[in-house]
């Protein structure tokens, strides 16, 4: 099954380090980051799980829940959590799904035969409160994920859901935005009374609307 942006994230019930999880019910009205790991006790993923735990206050601030996945069983997840605490200084504070039957991996197309016939690739899904998939990224096994970038994308998605703007290259929270082309100058004058800089008719830069 190939999932695309805008698709509804498949629901499932699966065991985790925090007990059985019914995904849609657990997600509730939050944003969700679902990210997979090839297996337990892998070095790059150990650093990632520690970082997601460290960033929990940032996720909470954005109404985001994190949930991980690995194909190993819960008892191995629990043992791995001890290593994460010891080496990264932050204990696991979000659920880690035990996907030994590959049910969730198959639903989310996390098994890529050219990479591995049995282990999940290192995927990231950002899912909004309507359960729609808003971003997907697949990383190679050798490259740790960039969670500041994932937070940046969430900031952009939440901003652009609320205002008729897009975010330009390398944008970070607080930076100037682009008025979307579908908004006329007359409409823009009402939406953005502070004004904007017109570099081209299709490129109108405006201060971030929720910061003015």
Catalytic amino acids?
Answer: 45
CA atoms of 76 and 66, how far apart (whole Å): 19
CA atoms of 159 and 153, how far apart (whole Å): 10
CA atoms of 147 and 50, how far apart (whole Å): 11
CA atoms of 207 and 210, how far apart (whole Å): 9
């Amino acid at each position: 099954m190939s999932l695309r942006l805008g698709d509804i994230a498949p629901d499932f019930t699966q065991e985790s380090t925090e007990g059985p999880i019914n995904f849609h019910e657990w997600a509730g009205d939050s944003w969700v980051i679902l990210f997979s790991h090839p297996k337990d006790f892998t070095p790059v993923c150990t650093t990632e799980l520690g970082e997601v735990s460290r960033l929990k206050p940032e996720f909470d601030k954005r109404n985001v829940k994190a949930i991980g996945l690995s194909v190993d069983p819960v008892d191995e997840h629990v043992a791995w959590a001890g290593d994460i605490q010891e080496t990264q200084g932050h204990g696991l504070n979000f659920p880690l799904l035990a996907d030994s039957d590959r049910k969730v991996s198959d639903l989310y197309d996390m098994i890529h035969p050219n990479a591995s016939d049995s282990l999940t690739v290192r995927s990231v899904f950002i899912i909004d409160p309507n359960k729609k998939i808003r971003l997907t990224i697949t990383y190679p096994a050798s490259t740790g994920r960039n969670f500041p970038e994932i937070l940046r994308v969430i900031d952009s998605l939440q901003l652009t859901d609320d205002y008729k703007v897009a975010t330009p290259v390398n944008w970070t929270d607080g930076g100037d935005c682009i008025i979307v082309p579908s908004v006329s100058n007359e409409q823009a004058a009402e939406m953005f009374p502070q004004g904007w800089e017109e570099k081209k008719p299709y490129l109108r830069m405006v201060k971030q609307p929720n910061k003015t």
